[in-house]
Each structure stands twice: as structure tokens, then as C-alpha cells.
Amino acid sequence: MNSIIAPSMLAADFGNLQRDVDMVNNSSAEWFHMDVMDGVFVPNISYGPSVIKAMSKHTDKFIDAHLMIVNPDRYIDDYKNAGVHNLTFHYEACDHLHRSMQAIRNAGMQAGVALNPHTPVHLLEDIIQDVDLVLIMSVNPGFGGQKFIENAISKVAQTKDLIIQKNSSAKIEVDGGVNTETGKKLVNAGADVLVAGSFVFKSENPTETIDKLRNCAH
């Protein structure tokens, strides 16, 4: 099965945002990936629900929002109202992760949990049946265009084992340094969703690049 491709809008040209949204709409990518940063949880600031809402008005595709922020629970309704379908919080940012995941689902969205590169997979043992998605960070969150952390491949495999063991239906998503080479390894290890920012938007033909990424596991 082909993996789901989720171009990261963090790497889009914000001076030509409508053009880049249209490009993703007309490509074979199934999802939009939205990276939200607050300058506190990560050392960078990106955009929030108002920008996502503006983009969501111009697409029928699945909107996947990754919140790299402190106290993410405060904004669940804002992201629901912005048109988000899956809302991902960081394990490291939640004091009561189970409650957070339930709150996201109760708002009518799918619930995802993200792990930083240093956070081990086994910490998800008690929550894996209550999430729809596990996001493995293959770079340290905060900036696009970073070098891929190879250990992410074994973390994907560990996550896949845990999902099978606990009879969970969670998808595995990977974000950071994804290209056709790393994408193939990740999908072979069990990844379902590949997030790609710079690799797509900085390529000569982003639509073709998305096609190559979709087929890189075959």
C-alpha cells in the first residue's frame, strides 16, 4: 500500500500561499500537515488557527495539525473551528495525556501524540489504544530542513510492534528530513504517513516530488 503523503505547509512560500495550497490540492498528496510553534515549547514561531482556517477554506483534503506548544489543551476548540481533522499534541507537553486525547476526540477530531527524538516509544504503552496517530519526530522540532535522525527508523518499527501487540488502529507518521531515500526505509519499518516540507516545496517540480515520495516504498 502506498503511504499517505502530507506536505508540511511550514515550508510553503507564505507570500504565495494560495498558489502552494492549490499545488497540494492538485497533487496526489492526501493530507495537509500544519506545524504550529509558539516560541516556548520550541525555539521558533510559525502560525496558528487563523492561518489554518484561511487555508482550510480552500481545500477538501484532510488537515493534520501538529502543535509544538505549551498547554495545547487550551486551543482544542480553536483548531476544531479552523477545520482541523487530526490534532496532534506532544507527549512532552501534556501532564494528563489520556485526558487530552479524550478531549480532542470529544471535539470531533482524531487525536495524535508526537514523540521528540529523545522520548522512548514504550512510554506510549498505556495510551496507544486511545490515539489515532503516533508522530515520530525524525528531527528535533522547531525548524524545517534539518538532517534526518537515523534512530527514527527503529522507533517506527518499535511503534509498529506496540500497535500490533496492543491491537491499536493508530497510524504512524514521521516528520523531519523525509525524502525518497529515508521515506523508503520508514515505510518499510511500518510508517503510514510521511510528512515532507523542504523536500517538496524546494524541489523544481513539487507535484512530481510528491508522486515520487508516494511511490518510494515500491
CA dist 205 and 46 (Å) reads 25
Instruction: HSE, CB side, 13 Å, CA atoms: give it for residue 56.
Output: 20
175: annotated active-site residue: yes
Number of Cβ within a 10 Å radius of residue 32? 25
Catalytic residue among 20, 38, 64, 175: 175
Cβ partners under 8 Å of residue 185, min gap 6: 153
Catalytic residue among 20, 35, 64, 132: 35
Instruction: HSE, CB side, 13 Å, CA atoms: give it for residue 109.
Output: 28
Helix ranges, the chain (H): 17-25, 49-56, 76-81, 97-106, 151-165, 180-189, 198-201, 206-214
User: Using an 8 Å Cβ cutoff, are 88 and 110 in contact?
Assistant: no
73: annotated active-site residue: no
What positions carry a catalytic annotation?
Answer: 35, 175
